[in-house]
Amino acid sequence: MKTAFYIRLIACVTLFVANVCVTNARMVGDKPIGSIPFAIASDSRIYVTAFVNGSDSLRFLVDTGASDVVLNPNSPKLKDRFTIDSHADNLGTSGENTVSYSNQNAIRVGSLHLDKVGCAIIEYPAEYWDGVLGLGILRLFNIEIDYDDFTIYLYATVR
Protein backbone atom coordinates (compact mmCIF):
# COMPACT_ATOMS: atom_id res chain seq x y z
CA MET A 1 0.00 0.00 0.00
CA LYS A 2 2.78 2.42 0.86
CA THR A 3 4.43 1.65 -2.47
CA ALA A 4 1.28 2.60 -4.42
CA PHE A 5 1.03 5.81 -2.37
CA TYR A 6 4.63 6.76 -3.15
CA ILE A 7 4.20 5.95 -6.84
CA ARG A 8 1.16 8.25 -6.99
CA LEU A 9 3.02 10.93 -5.04
CA ILE A 10 6.01 10.76 -7.40
CA ALA A 11 3.67 10.91 -10.42
CA CYS A 12 1.91 14.00 -9.01
CA VAL A 13 5.20 15.75 -8.22
CA THR A 14 6.53 14.91 -11.69
CA LEU A 15 3.42 16.35 -13.36
CA PHE A 16 3.62 19.47 -11.20
CA VAL A 17 7.30 20.04 -12.03
CA ALA A 18 6.67 19.39 -15.74
CA ASN A 19 3.87 21.98 -15.78
CA VAL A 20 6.03 24.54 -14.00
CA CYS A 21 8.90 23.95 -16.45
CA VAL A 22 6.59 24.30 -19.47
CA THR A 23 5.14 27.52 -18.07
CA ASN A 24 8.61 28.92 -17.46
CA ALA A 25 9.64 28.01 -21.00
CA ARG A 26 7.22 30.66 -22.28
CA MET A 27 8.18 34.29 -22.16
CA VAL A 28 5.68 35.07 -19.41
CA GLY A 29 8.49 36.23 -17.13
CA ASP A 30 9.59 38.88 -19.63
CA LYS A 31 7.72 42.07 -20.29
CA PRO A 32 6.68 42.45 -23.92
CA ILE A 33 7.81 45.62 -25.67
CA GLY A 34 4.79 45.57 -27.96
CA SER A 35 1.69 43.66 -28.93
CA ILE A 36 -0.45 43.04 -31.98
CA PRO A 37 -4.06 41.89 -31.62
CA PHE A 38 -5.16 39.33 -34.18
CA ALA A 39 -8.21 37.46 -35.40
CA ILE A 40 -8.54 33.98 -36.80
CA ALA A 41 -10.69 33.94 -39.92
CA SER A 42 -12.80 31.13 -41.35
CA ASP A 43 -9.74 29.97 -43.33
CA SER A 44 -7.98 29.35 -39.95
CA ARG A 45 -5.31 31.93 -40.74
CA ILE A 46 -4.15 34.76 -38.50
CA TYR A 47 -5.01 38.29 -39.65
CA VAL A 48 -4.03 41.63 -38.14
CA THR A 49 -5.12 45.20 -38.74
CA ALA A 50 -2.36 47.34 -40.22
CA PHE A 51 -1.98 50.88 -41.50
CA VAL A 52 0.42 51.78 -44.31
CA ASN A 53 1.49 55.34 -45.06
CA GLY A 54 -1.56 56.86 -43.35
CA SER A 55 -4.11 54.48 -44.88
CA ASP A 56 -7.40 53.39 -43.36
CA SER A 57 -7.36 50.00 -41.64
CA LEU A 58 -5.98 47.18 -43.77
CA ARG A 59 -6.33 43.41 -43.43
CA PHE A 60 -2.91 41.74 -43.31
CA LEU A 61 -2.25 38.02 -43.31
CA VAL A 62 0.42 36.96 -40.81
CA ASP A 63 2.79 34.64 -42.68
CA THR A 64 5.95 33.52 -40.89
CA GLY A 65 7.04 31.85 -44.12
CA ALA A 66 7.01 35.11 -46.08
CA SER A 67 10.43 36.74 -46.17
CA ASP A 68 9.12 40.29 -46.47
CA VAL A 69 6.18 42.52 -45.87
CA VAL A 70 3.95 42.37 -48.95
CA LEU A 71 1.54 44.99 -50.26
CA ASN A 72 -1.26 43.90 -52.58
CA PRO A 73 -1.55 46.44 -55.43
CA ASN A 74 -5.08 45.16 -56.17
CA SER A 75 -6.30 46.42 -52.80
CA PRO A 76 -8.43 49.53 -53.32
CA LYS A 77 -7.44 50.72 -49.83
CA LEU A 78 -3.78 50.87 -50.89
CA LYS A 79 -4.40 52.91 -54.04
CA ASP A 80 -1.82 55.72 -54.22
CA ARG A 81 -0.37 54.74 -50.81
CA PHE A 82 3.03 53.47 -51.98
CA THR A 83 5.63 54.19 -54.64
CA ILE A 84 7.44 51.49 -56.58
CA ASP A 85 11.09 52.49 -56.55
CA SER A 86 13.04 49.29 -57.18
CA HIS A 87 12.83 45.61 -58.02
CA ALA A 88 14.05 42.56 -56.14
CA ASP A 89 14.24 38.81 -56.54
CA ASN A 90 11.54 37.03 -54.59
CA LEU A 91 11.60 33.36 -53.66
CA GLY A 92 8.08 32.11 -53.03
CA THR A 93 6.09 28.92 -53.17
CA SER A 94 5.82 29.25 -56.95
CA GLY A 95 9.57 29.68 -57.43
CA GLU A 96 11.85 32.66 -57.87
CA ASN A 97 10.77 35.76 -59.74
CA THR A 98 11.45 39.48 -59.84
CA VAL A 99 8.92 41.67 -58.06
CA SER A 100 8.44 45.39 -57.70
CA TYR A 101 9.54 46.85 -54.40
CA SER A 102 8.52 49.90 -52.41
CA ASN A 103 10.93 51.33 -49.86
CA GLN A 104 10.39 54.03 -47.23
CA ASN A 105 6.96 52.88 -46.02
CA ALA A 106 5.51 53.74 -42.62
CA ILE A 107 3.70 50.75 -41.11
CA ARG A 108 1.63 50.64 -37.96
CA VAL A 109 0.32 47.34 -36.62
CA GLY A 110 -0.83 47.00 -33.03
CA SER A 111 1.49 49.04 -30.82
CA LEU A 112 4.29 48.74 -33.36
CA HIS A 113 5.20 51.76 -35.50
CA LEU A 114 7.99 51.37 -38.07
CA ASP A 115 9.36 53.76 -40.68
CA LYS A 116 11.44 53.08 -43.79
CA VAL A 117 10.02 49.57 -44.25
CA GLY A 118 10.71 47.88 -47.57
CA CYS A 119 7.73 46.01 -49.03
CA ALA A 120 7.44 43.59 -51.91
CA ILE A 121 4.55 44.36 -54.26
CA ILE A 122 2.78 41.12 -55.14
CA GLU A 123 -0.64 40.85 -56.74
CA TYR A 124 -3.38 38.83 -55.05
CA PRO A 125 -7.11 39.00 -55.65
CA ALA A 126 -8.37 42.11 -53.82
CA GLU A 127 -10.69 40.07 -51.60
CA TYR A 128 -7.85 37.93 -50.18
CA TRP A 129 -6.01 40.54 -48.11
CA ASP A 130 -4.46 43.97 -48.39
CA GLY A 131 -1.00 42.79 -47.42
CA VAL A 132 1.13 40.21 -45.69
CA LEU A 133 3.03 40.67 -42.45
CA GLY A 134 6.14 38.56 -42.98
CA LEU A 135 9.57 38.10 -41.50
CA GLY A 136 10.72 41.53 -42.65
CA ILE A 137 9.10 42.79 -39.45
CA LEU A 138 8.63 39.68 -37.32
CA ARG A 139 12.34 38.79 -37.28
CA LEU A 140 13.08 42.01 -35.41
CA PHE A 141 11.55 40.45 -32.29
CA ASN A 142 11.10 37.27 -30.36
CA ILE A 143 7.40 36.66 -30.78
CA GLU A 144 4.79 34.77 -28.83
CA ILE A 145 1.49 34.01 -30.52
CA ASP A 146 -1.04 33.71 -27.70
CA TYR A 147 -4.18 32.02 -28.97
CA ASP A 148 -5.92 32.44 -25.60
CA ASP A 149 -6.09 36.23 -25.81
CA PHE A 150 -5.58 36.59 -29.60
CA THR A 151 -2.44 38.67 -29.25
CA ILE A 152 1.03 38.47 -30.76
CA TYR A 153 3.48 39.62 -28.08
CA LEU A 154 6.76 41.20 -29.17
CA TYR A 155 9.86 40.76 -27.02
CA ALA A 156 13.31 42.28 -27.34
CA THR A 157 15.87 40.05 -28.99
CA VAL A 158 19.30 39.47 -27.53
CA ARG A 159 21.82 40.55 -30.15
List CB contacts of 105: < 8 A, sequence separation 6 or more: 52, 53, 69, 71, 82, 116, 117, 118, 119
Mean pLDDT score of the chain: 87
Whole-model pTM above 0.85? no
Fold of 25-155: Cathepsin D, subunit A; domain 1 (2.40.70)
> pLDDT tens, 71-96?
999 999 999 999 999 998 887 777 78
CA dist 150 and 37 (Å) reads: 6
User: What does the domain layout of the chain look like in residue ranges?
Assistant: 25-155
Whether 140 and 158 have beta carbons less than 8 Å apart is answered as no
Select the more confidently predicted residue: 5 or 64.
64
> pLDDT tens, 100-126?
999 999 999 999 999 999 999 999 999
Measured CA angle at 125 (ends 121, 131), to 5 deg: 45
Whether 47 and 60 have beta carbons less than 8 Å apart is answered as yes
Confidence of residue 30 (pLDDT cuts 50, 70, 90): confident
